[in-house]
Structure 1
Amino acid sequence: MPPPAARPSLAPLFDPRAIAIYGASSDPSKIGGRPLDFLKKSGFDGPLYPINPKASQIQGLPAYPTMAAVPDAVDLAIVAVPAPAVLAALEDCAAHGVRGAVVLSAGFAEVGGPGVAWQEEMSALARRTGMRVVGPNCMGLINVRRRLLGTFTPSAAGFGLVPGRISVVSQSGAFGGYCLSLIRQRGLGLNLWITTGNQCDVDVADCIEHFALDAETQVIAGYLEAAADKERLFHALALARERGKRVVIMKVGRSEAGAHATASHTASLAGSDQVYEGVFRQFGVLRARSIDEFFDTAYAAASPAPLPQGRRLGVLTVSGGVGALMADVAADVGLDMPPMPEDAQRRLKALLPFCGPRNPVDMTAQLVNDLTLFERNFEVMLQEGRYDVIVAFLSSVGLVTELGRGILEQLQTVLQRFPDRTVIASMLASTEVRQMFEQAGVMLFDEPTRAVRAAGALVHYGQQLQKRALADMPPPLPAGALPPPVQVVNEVEAKTVLASAGIPVVQERVAMSEDDAVRAAADIGYPVVLKIASPDIAHKSEIGGVIVGVRNAAQVRAAFRTLRERAHTYAPAARIDGVVVAQMAPPGVETILGVAHDPVFGAVLMFGVGGVFVEAFQDVAFRVAPFGVAEARAMIEEVRGKVLLAGVRGQPPADMEALASAIAALSVYAAQHADAIESIDINPLLVLPRGQGVLALDALIVPRSAA
């Protein structure tokens, strides 16, 4: 996919030399007064210019009637005037060289009426002048290092922000303000913060791209309601992955009610949530399902601790019960908890005869009587257990400063020997002890299961770092690939197209008479399957339109007549192209492979293991086309039904490599013809035993023109 056209940088927004406040007020409690009050009190290091024709002085600063009267160059304008006056203010800014504007004012596309046209004019102005415009209907932005508080949210009052490596973008202003309060409350290190509102110009993708290029940002945390520009979002996420940024996104709209709420909230349309899920997996984004997970992930990802190189988790605990709870959560997030080696278990037993040495390793409450147990247990686990990450649950030890200090000193001693390992502590702790741990670069969580989930997040980012080093280019489209049909065709014609695109298909022919059917069966070889050939009957089995296990000419003739009668009875208006005679497929695992046209992302691929898993449990994985074989393998790994492909109850393992190749090949064809295809259904795609390939047994192609 070619990169989208370059747009002017967001640097004037986040790093301005001077700021003008349009609609500035002398009352710090008003929207036009708060940003100026915050900027003055926070100590922003550049000049501030209130713009208000009704005053000569505002909050102790000279006021100016328009931008033309300002004596110096201004990079950023914060606009807080009534909606009908916003466009004139932006024109004034653009005419005098302002390169960025934050429109706090509401009353645009989110409320309808004339606001829709005003917002469209704002978008046109931004495109025409190159001035980057945030909003309207947003809460502004912050650059902590510059002490720039370009916002009116009460969450910014008093500053109280610590410079750090996390940058936040929120499509929702209210959620962005809430995030800011939690960031202050938790003492997280913040770099940049922005809310995009109605996104007349600057959108979430623009901000992710800016954060990806920002040297001070390590973690990109985003709240997303709906994407507006597929290419720009993909470019931003790919850039973040390329630059090694750790991205966590909370995407709302999973439920029908949630999707409706986001659409009405910011005049956006939410796409299919399953497709968003696939996009996030495709670009290594960790999707948070709760606010706690959102912030816990950001906190852990911003830690200076090394990322785990594998999925092996060790749990060290003072409570067997809590250790079991942590093990359950580890299984939920896909972490492995292999037991300690037998020799190591004996060594741990020698240290403390009544400990639990397996994994979780239970030190019991004896730790309080002998703190050296912590260092010795930890060293054995790292040296002999070779765990990639260890979570240590220490109950309330951190509420006693001396105990907390002693634990930290022992932990630092061990980590000097194992600097490549990741360690997370979980305990109740005083503010002093928490600060000691975090200043030493050790993550600390109050609640142990949240610590385990954070470990899972770090393992995810570690795997993405390894995956980034592996090229996964989409395969080439076969030279003889046929174009998709312009109208719905029968399954034989559909499979002919798919075969040309690199999808193996079953041997078959369309017979127009009983004699044709008998000749086709003889050529193919018995036993055979007979099916109604019709572009109008998508689900033939539902009307008895498939007869399997036909073993001789007499059965072929009888089956041919039966199928024609059933088609006439159950689908009298359907076009009948004849009867398909196909080889009887060998045993294998039925899967489903499909293409759908998503209004936001275009051609998307769906994969699932056939039968009850797909229909009853919606056990499917999605990706946006095109992609390579490695991404196809990741899709297969995501579905729960993959166990059937591994071989169960004595069945041989399925040909996973051939399946992945077929998925990648279809993704390339779907992307090449995204404008012409509404959907493709290959159901079933039979996966044969390892080394024998795959076969498309049935297929349907619906062109966009026929949708």
Structure 2
Amino acid sequence: MNTSQTLNTLFSPKSIAILGASNTAGKSGAVPIALLLEAGYAGKIYPVNPRQDTVYGLPCHASLGDIEDAIDLVIIAVPASHVLAALEKSRPGQIANAVIFTSGFAEVGDAGVQLQQQLQAFARERRIRLLGPNCLGFINVRQNTYATFSPAPFNGRLPAGDVGMVTQSGAFGAYAYCLARERHLGLSFWISTGNESDLDVADCIQWLVDDPDTSIIMAYIEGCKDGDKLKRALSAANLAGKPVVVTKIGRTHSGAQAAASHTAALAGDDVVYDALFKQYGVIRAYTIDEFFNIGQALSKWPGRPANQNLAIISISGGVGALMADEADENRLSLPAPPEEVKARLLARIPFAGANNPVDVTGHALTDLSILLDTSRDLLGTGNYGALAIFLAAAGSSETLWPYLQELVHVLHAEHPHIPLTISALLPDERKNVLQTNGAMVFADPSVAIRTLSRIMLHRPAMTPGQNDERPHVSLPEGSGALNEADSLSVLKKAGIPVTPFAVANSASEAQTIARQWNSPAVMKIVSADILHKSDAGGVKLGICGEQAVLHAYDDILSSVQSQMPQAKIDGVLVAPMCNGGVECIMGVHRDPVFGPVVMFGLGGIFVEILKDVSFRLAPFGRDEALSMIHEIRATALLSGARGRGPADIPALADTLVALSRLAYDQRDQIESIDINPILALPERQGVLALDGLIIRNRIA
């Protein structure tokens, strides 16, 4: 089904039936009716309960089939064992969508899984779209559609806005609703997906991408079962220019286990999610406070800042320095103001700090025009993408308050697209006034800087490079590991440079091969049964001279046959020793949700000890590969360090692209690829894979 079309009637229903309707305030069958009536929902409401004549003054129906009209949405609030039977009383084609509050399905074990599968089968047969079960429902804020049993809206409604929020956790969803209300953050939609028997978080993100009233998407994710669908939704958001902010739990082993036990979701490997978010332009928030700070900032300033330059004005030199440190750690620039701007400030406060951060000192509080004039001077240069102001406790001053309102009003009117933060201690009502008028207010100036950095550094995702001429590569038939010679041959066909080599089946043949190169030889056992060749005595390095080659060949076979007598031997690989360059590692593993994931890092201790690696989902283009390379902490070794020249980074990026395309094209055949080491040679000399291992998918 085309989700974006079929969900119109779900999220903007003109008629709603409540199955399990109740007159008892607080019950899940009563809350949505009370909310709909109180909010002034304009559509038709049909309570359904065979034991009631009226519910909240509305005529009550004994079953869905007793309702003559077609129904856009059925809200289900009856026990799990009664859900399917109640739905079966509807007429074919009568119901378009259902929101299922009821728990007791897949999240409780095998019996619940069977109930959920039966429900799914019936819904598919009747072409009914399902949200839930075990979900808190949704709210369409603009149309006053409260298809939820959360009591949170009774304590205050949200303003309509441009932020669409979707969460896999109902409890978090209710909490997030309250936080959004406290912050006066306007929402377009609020959606809880629960067990995701049909519609999942990716469907809802896609719906919000297509919704003209939604500009920002905030998502709380515990896991994903359809990686391709989530990638398509995030890609659509990126193409539509709608930023996505995500909080993803399960970053640690214990966190992942908690997620799985809570919702039967697959939390997955967090490094894969992290790669997904980086690759698709998603802003990841690591705390709830950060989640809302970023979402609110994006809603307030939807256009991307013109640059990554930040201006800081402080009444405290020390706090200004603290904010500068935070800006530097978060990759924001602090260019000094032009000389004429400095001169104007110093003419008024000779002891001011005129660089950036600008220290207007406490004197600015006695001459209230200084703060506004300095702010206007800085922003008027066009050099700064955002402005952060620190006022300490002076923000609560009765004398300063009218001026502070004027400051925010004027700056927002003159520069509506430039983010402005005020760090000060303010009562909630005054904080809300300033935020309504165009600023964001923080008690902690470091949090202000971190929030600004997330929106200032956010850029659209890179699109995978296209290459219609890439080589077609096929793998040898079978499953399991390929031997090293076959692995290197496949890599070479895929456009990955590999070391020259040949396979010898006798000592004399090894001698003949070694004569080809005017360098010492490397000799390695060739066997798909031996993945760790060194452990079996199957590797000899730096072999010089024909007699040494002869002895090395015999030693390798003798050692391997002694230690692994059952291994099938395909010969001995002979290759020239390669020195110089920087040893790197590239690899691929097939994630069960998102498919092939490519890894890059520096070889040796950087992988084994520091785990200094980066990841991306295949396929990707050259720009993404370069980003991947520069992401690792030890990238300075590739750029040239301690007197060494730079490595051939462009060739390294091209090799990563080729590896990603091989992994993606053969995603149904390849389980993993390991290229370790791959040598990044000096600038303009390319790269060379010295060892490779491809493992094909096991045949079930």
Same fold by TM-score greater than 0.5: yes
Which of the numbers 500, 511, 515 marks the counterpart of 1:522? 515
Which of the numbers 541, 545, 550 marks the counterpart of 1:552? 545
Look up the SS of the partner of 2:166 in the other structure.
strand
Correspondence for 1:316: 313
Q: How does 1:689-704 map to 2 (within 5 A)?
A: 689-704=682-697
Pair 1:153–1:80, CA change in 2 (3 A): same
Correspondence for 1:452: 449
Alpha-carbon shift at residue 208 of structure 1 (Å):
0.2
2:26–2:151: 8 Å Cα contact kept in structure 1?
Answer: no
2:301–2:417: 8 Å Cα contact kept in structure 1?
Answer: no
1:400–1:430: 8 Å Cα contact kept in structure 2?
Answer: no
Amino acid in structure 1 at the alignment position of 2:41: F
CA distance in 2, matches of 1:658, 1:572: 41
Which of the numbers 656, 661, 666 marks the counterpart of 2:654? 661
Alpha-carbon shift at residue 125 of structure 1 (Å):
2.4
CA distance in 1, matches of 2:477, 2:487: 8
1:515-537, Cα deviation, whole Å (9 max, x unpaired) = 22222122122133223333233
Normalising by structure 1, we get a TM-score of 0.93
Q: How does 1:584-603 map to 2 (within 5 A)?
A: 584-603=577-596
Is the counterpart of residue 12 in structure 1 residue 9 in structure 2? Answer: yes
Alpha-carbon shift at residue 361 of structure 1 (Å):
2.3
CA distance in 1, matches of 2:18, 2:3: 28
Is the counterpart of residue 26 in structure 1 residue 23 in structure 2? Answer: yes
Pair 1:220–1:418, CA change in 2 (3 A): closer
Correspondence for 2:475: 483
Correspondence for 1:537: 530
1:594–1:606: 8 Å Cα contact kept in structure 2?
Answer: yes
Q: How does 1:29-428 map to 2 (within 5 A)?
A: 29-93=26-90, 95=92, 97-304=94-301, 306-340=303-337, 348-382=345-379, 386-400=383-397, 403-410=400-407, 412-413=409-410, 421-428=418-425
Normalising by structure 2, we get a TM-score of 0.94
2:582–2:638: 8 Å Cα contact kept in structure 1?
Answer: yes
Look up the SS of the partner of 2:392 in the other structure.
coil
Amino acid in structure 1 at the alignment position of 2:511: V
Q: Show structure 1 runs of 4+ deviating over 6 A.
A: none
Alpha-carbon shift at residue 598 of structure 1 (Å):
0.9
Pair 1:630–1:320, CA change in 2 (3 A): same
1:110–1:198: 8 Å Cα contact kept in structure 2?
Answer: yes
Correspondence for 1:618: 611
Pair 1:573–1:347, CA change in 2 (3 A): farther
1:8–1:132: 8 Å Cα contact kept in structure 2?
Answer: no
Alpha-carbon shift at residue 683 of structure 1 (Å):
0.8
1:49-76, Cα deviation, whole Å (9 max, x unpaired) = 1100101011222111112333544211
Alpha-carbon shift at residue 15 of structure 1 (Å):
0.9
1:382-427, Cα deviation, whole Å (9 max, x unpaired) = 4558232222222233323552442443455456665654332222
CA distance in 2, matches of 1:677, 1:262: 29
Pair 1:555–1:72, CA change in 2 (3 A): same
Look up the SS of the partner of 1:507 in the other structure.
coil
1:77-110, Cα deviation, whole Å (9 max, x unpaired) = 1110111111122333463622111110111111
Pair 1:84–1:532, CA change in 2 (3 A): same
Pair 1:168–1:608, CA change in 2 (3 A): same
Pair 1:414–1:21, CA change in 2 (3 A): closer
Higher mean C-alpha displacement, 252-261 vs 574-583: 574-583
CA distance in 1, matches of 2:372, 2:427: 22
Alpha-carbon shift at residue 706 of structure 1 (Å):
6.9
CA distance in 2, matches of 1:9, 1:36: 24
CA distance in 1, matches of 2:382, 2:546: 66
Alpha-carbon shift at residue 296 of structure 1 (Å):
0.7
CA distance in 2, matches of 1:93, 1:226: 33
CA distance in 2, matches of 1:633, 1:93: 57
CA distance in 1, matches of 2:689, 2:295: 44
Correspondence for 1:673: 666
Which of the numbers 600, 606, 613 marks the counterpart of 2:599? 606
Amino acid in structure 2 at the alignment position of 1:194: I
2:510–2:553: 8 Å Cα contact kept in structure 1?
Answer: yes
1:599-655, Cα deviation, whole Å (9 max, x unpaired) = 111222111222222222322222222121122122222221222211111111121
1:401–1:432: 8 Å Cα contact kept in structure 2?
Answer: no
Correspondence for 2:642: 649
1:9-66, Cα deviation, whole Å (9 max, x unpaired) = 2222221112111101110121111111121222212222110010101122211111
- The number of equivalent residue pairs is 699
1:605–1:667: 8 Å Cα contact kept in structure 2?
Answer: yes
Amino acid in structure 1 at the alignment position of 2:522: V
Look up the SS of the partner of 1:394 in the other structure.
strand
Look up the SS of the partner of 2:106 in the other structure.
coil
Amino acid in structure 2 at the alignment position of 1:585: C
Amino acid in structure 1 at the alignment position of 2:471: A
CA distance in 2, matches of 1:74, 1:402: 59
Amino acid in structure 2 at the alignment position of 1:521: A
1:484–1:677: 8 Å Cα contact kept in structure 2?
Answer: no
CA distance in 1, matches of 2:682, 2:2: 46
1:77–1:93: 8 Å Cα contact kept in structure 2?
Answer: no
Which of the numbers 666, 675, 683 marks the counterpart of 1:682? 675
1:493-526, Cα deviation, whole Å (9 max, x unpaired) = 2111100001010111122333222221221221
1:77–1:102: 8 Å Cα contact kept in structure 2?
Answer: yes
Alpha-carbon shift at residue 237 of structure 1 (Å):
0.8
1:444-486, Cα deviation, whole Å (9 max, x unpaired) = 223212211211221233x22xx56xx5424346335232553
Could you tell me which runs of 5 or more consecutive residues in structure 1 were left unpaired when the two chains were aligned.
none
Amino acid in structure 2 at the alignment position of 1:557: L
1:352-374, Cα deviation, whole Å (9 max, x unpaired) = 33333333222222221122222
Identity of aligned residues (%): 42
Correspondence for 1:500: 493
Higher mean C-alpha displacement, 262-271 vs 185-194: 262-271
1:475–1:628: 8 Å Cα contact kept in structure 2?
Answer: no
Could you tell me which runs of 5 or more consecutive residues in structure 2 were left unpaired when the two chains were aligned.
none
CA distance in 2, matches of 1:547, 1:350: 76
Look up the SS of the partner of 1:581 in the other structure.
strand
Correspondence for 2:698: 705
CA distance in 2, matches of 1:111, 1:339: 60
